Amino acid sequence: MPRIRKKTSKRGTTHQRQKLKHKVTEGRKKAKKVARKEQAAGKTHKKSKKDPGIPNNFPYKDQILAEVAESRREAAEEKQRRKDEKRAALTGVDVKDIEDSRKDTMDVDNDENENDGQGFDGIMSLRSALSAPPPKKSVEPVTSEPVIPVIAGPNTLREVLQKADVLLHVVDARDPAAGISEALFKEATGKDILLLVNKIDTVPRESLEQWLSHLRLAYNTLPFRVAEAFLSSKPNPPPTLKTSKKKISPKLDDALGSDVVWEQLSKLKAKKSGEELVVALTGVTNSGKSAVINSLARADVFPIYDLNSAATVKGPYTTTSASEIVLEFPDKMGMKIRLIDTPGLEYVRTDDEDVQDDEKEKARAKDILLRSRGRVDRLKDPLFAITHVVSRADTQDLMLAYSLPAFSKGDPTSFLAGMARVSGLIKKRGVLDHAGAARIVLRDWSIGKFARYTMPPGTSAPSSSADDERILATLKRRKELRKAEDVKLVRLQPGEAERREVLLDDIWGADEENSEEADDEDAGDEEASGDEDGDEDEEDQGSESDKDEEDVVEEEEEEVPELLPPPKRKRTVSFAAMPAGGKRQRSGKSRRS
């Protein structure tokens, strides 16, 4: 049989590879030479950097894209408006008539496009008639709703309690017991107290049923959810062809539980003698007092807390002083009600030396997480807050929420280690970034992605009325919330009612004015003294760091550049003549054995 030749390999020879490598090198040298010549002649053109776009994991990407699309649409409308104004100035026709004729023309074009493209003379002859301006339409005056005037309220909490007939205390449904102040209720002895459980849409139905039964043993408790227009801001969906033409405004009259609240207030007004019923709304910061008043008034009267504005707006973004509005009861009987919006409750600080540091740190973490005011994830030291969260949270819920391996109950170190590994937060030499992992959890806590709920101590049979059943029917159960992709449902241990004394005589708004004046004085001192007062500034910062809400850093701190390592010494080569022996002589003393 003839010998079959083995197939040759397609692998090139070494000479061919070196030849290609040499050509590539020569091409790069030539390109660099041309670039240097163009740079010397001033003909260089800087390459425009490509926009990297918005990362997919950015929480507000949809909202930013919607804003960009809206701005482009407004720019196109502005451009078309200028064209219409210029055309109206030349032809002497009203701008509205030109816009109406253009819309009619667009409608006719759309109708013709739906056909097969062939028209007849009767229709084609009508196109010239569209250029004539249509007759002016009578515009009916739009009646706007009357604006509700806002009146300045009392200066202190004690004055509010003396003026009020009813105390409407607002608590968060996620942890209602932690928002109750026993000292405040003690000061309001003799007044009617209503406990309003707000934000019921953030908890499972089972939790709300148990809490309503538990709290009604001691207080007159009502469930509530503010109107859609005053809910916490969520990323808007990207505009589509259907939604881009007509902007849907959120509803102002769809608050859950507002009818029951008005019914209770009407009963209390019937017992009181006088022209109006004075109701003071109290509660901790960010419990939703201003949003409750807006929902009852069905108007945007008071500004509400928004996490997006908190990250950008300088200065206070929550209620800092008391304000009042006067409304009429919905039954239109002429009875009036005065609602007083108050700032968040502040408690007396305990400076006892007997109190251990762990207890102070625990109370500090509780206050920060309960208020959730500002960017909690920008704390200078977020580890103490995570320690409080892990000590109260259910271990299995944390494992399921963040897909973590098993860790010991109440151990924040192992929890953060698992979070860092899952999130890829590993520094050089395999060191885990515990602070970065803690900030991920705190960011989820502040934006509501960390959906927490509590169950009351003990077991009580849930008893609900017809109004409660109607409200509870709109809520989701635990199984439904666990299936949601953008929610991490975690059960926490219930908090305890606050027993610290409340600041009753502190004037609201005075601290901010003093802080602004102090900031101006500090800025002037720094300009005058330079770096000599650096130690004093550090002491001032250390004293201010004891406050709970001031620990949340509202703006990102400037990153300190790392110091560069010292330059390496270049090794010098001596070309001196060698001695006759062939060895170089060393300078200095010889090394003894």
Q: What is the pLDDT of residue 31?
A: 93
Alpha helices in 424-509 (DSSP H): 434-447, 466-472, 478-483
* Distance (Å, whole) CA 180 – CA 207: 17
Q: What is the pLDDT of residue 576?
A: 47
Quickly state the pLDDT bin for 574 (edges 50, 70, 90): very low
Q: What is the pLDDT of residue 494?
A: 92
More confident residue, 207 or 580: 207
Q: What is the pLDDT of residue 293?
A: 93
Please compute the mean of the pLDDT values over residues 395-400 and round it to a whole number.
Answer: 92
Q: What is the pLDDT of residue 249?
A: 74
CA 571 to chain centre: 56
- The residues, any chain, with a CB within 8 Å of residue 152's CB and separated by 6 or more, are 321, 322, 323, 324
Quickly state the pLDDT bin for 565 (edges 50, 70, 90): low
Q: What is the pLDDT of residue 549?
A: 46
Instruction: State the residue for tokens 């944390």.
Output: 398
Alpha helices in 274-411 (DSSP H): 289-297, 307-312, 357-371, 383-392, 395-402
Is a pLDDT exceeding 80 seen at residue 467? Answer: yes
Residue 378 is given by DSSP the state: G
Q: What is the pLDDT of residue 237?
A: 46
Q: What are the tokens at 65? A: 């894209």
Quickly state the pLDDT bin for 261 (edges 50, 70, 90): very high
**How high is the mean pLDDT of the chain?**
77
Any idea which of 35-44, 76-85, 261-270, 413-422 has the lowest mean pLDDT? 35-44
Domain ranges of the chain: 150-231+251-341, 357-492
10 Å Cβ neighbour count for 119? 13
Is a pLDDT exceeding 60 seen at residue 515? Answer: no
Is a pLDDT exceeding 70 seen at residue 523? Answer: no
CA atoms within 13 A on the CB side of 140: 3
Is a pLDDT exceeding 80 seen at residue 9? Answer: no
Quickly state the pLDDT bin for 379 (edges 50, 70, 90): confident
Is a pLDDT exceeding 70 seen at residue 213? Answer: yes
Q: What is the pLDDT of residue 533?
A: 43
Q: What Rg do the C-alpha atoms of the chain give, in angstroms?
A: 35
Q: Note the pLDDT tens digit of each residue in 129-142.
A: 334 444 444 444 43
Is a pLDDT exceeding 60 seen at residue 439? Answer: yes
Residue 476 is given by DSSP the state: -
Quickly state the pLDDT bin for 253 (edges 50, 70, 90): confident
- For 168, list phi and psi in degrees, rounded to 5: -100, 100
Q: Note the pLDDT tens digit of each residue in 322-345.
A: 999 999 888 767 788 999 999 999
Residue 120 is given by DSSP the state: -
Is a pLDDT exceeding 90 seen at residue 37? Answer: no
Is a pLDDT exceeding 50 seen at residue 143? Answer: no
* Distance (Å, whole) CA 581 – CA 570: 28
Q: Note the pLDDT tens digit of each residue in 369-378.
A: 988 887 888 8
Q: What is the pLDDT of residue 511?
A: 57
CA 202 to chain centre: 16
Q: What is the pLDDT of residue 537?
A: 42
Q: What is the pLDDT of residue 245?
A: 46
Is a pLDDT exceeding 70 seen at residue 581? Answer: no
Residue 117 is given by DSSP the state: S
Q: What are the tokens at 510? A: 């005075």
Q: Note the pLDDT tens digit of each residue in 144-175.
A: 455 788 889 899 999 999 999 999 999 999 99
More confident residue, 426 or 553: 426
Please compute the mean of the pLDDT values over residues 373-386 and round it to a whole number.
Answer: 87
Instruction: State the residue for tokens 């004085």.
Output: 521
- For 174, list phi and psi in degrees, rounded to 5: -70, -30
- Side by side, the strands of the sheet bearing 151-152 are 151-152, 323-328, 336-341, 276-282, 166-172, 192-198, 220-223
CATH match for 150-231+251-341 among 3.40.50.300, 3.40.50.2300, 3.30.950.10, 3.40.50.1470: 3.40.50.300
Quickly state the pLDDT bin for 514 (edges 50, 70, 90): low
Please compute the mean of the pLDDT values over residues 423-438 and round it to a whole number.
Answer: 90
Q: What is the pLDDT of residue 417?
A: 93
Q: What are the tokens at 52? A: 């990297």
* Distance (Å, whole) CA 579 – CA 293: 99
Please compute the mean of the pLDDT values over residues 377-404 and round it to a whole number.
Answer: 91
* Distance (Å, whole) CA 224 – CA 206: 16
Q: What is the pLDDT of residue 531?
A: 42
Q: What is the pLDDT of residue 567?
A: 52
Any idea which of 50-64, 160-174, 258-272, 539-553 has the lowest mean pLDDT? 539-553
Please compute the mean of the pLDDT values over residues 477-490 and round it to a whole number.
Answer: 87
Is a pLDDT exceeding 70 seen at residue 295? Answer: yes
Q: Which amino acid appears at position 512 of this protein?
A: E
pTM (2 d.p.)? 0.63
Q: What is the pLDDT of residue 107?
A: 57
More confident residue, 142 or 189: 189
Q: What is the pLDDT of residue 48?
A: 66
Q: Note the pLDDT tens digit of each residue in 403-424.
A: 999 999 989 999 999 999 999 9
Is a pLDDT exceeding 90 seen at residue 246? Answer: no
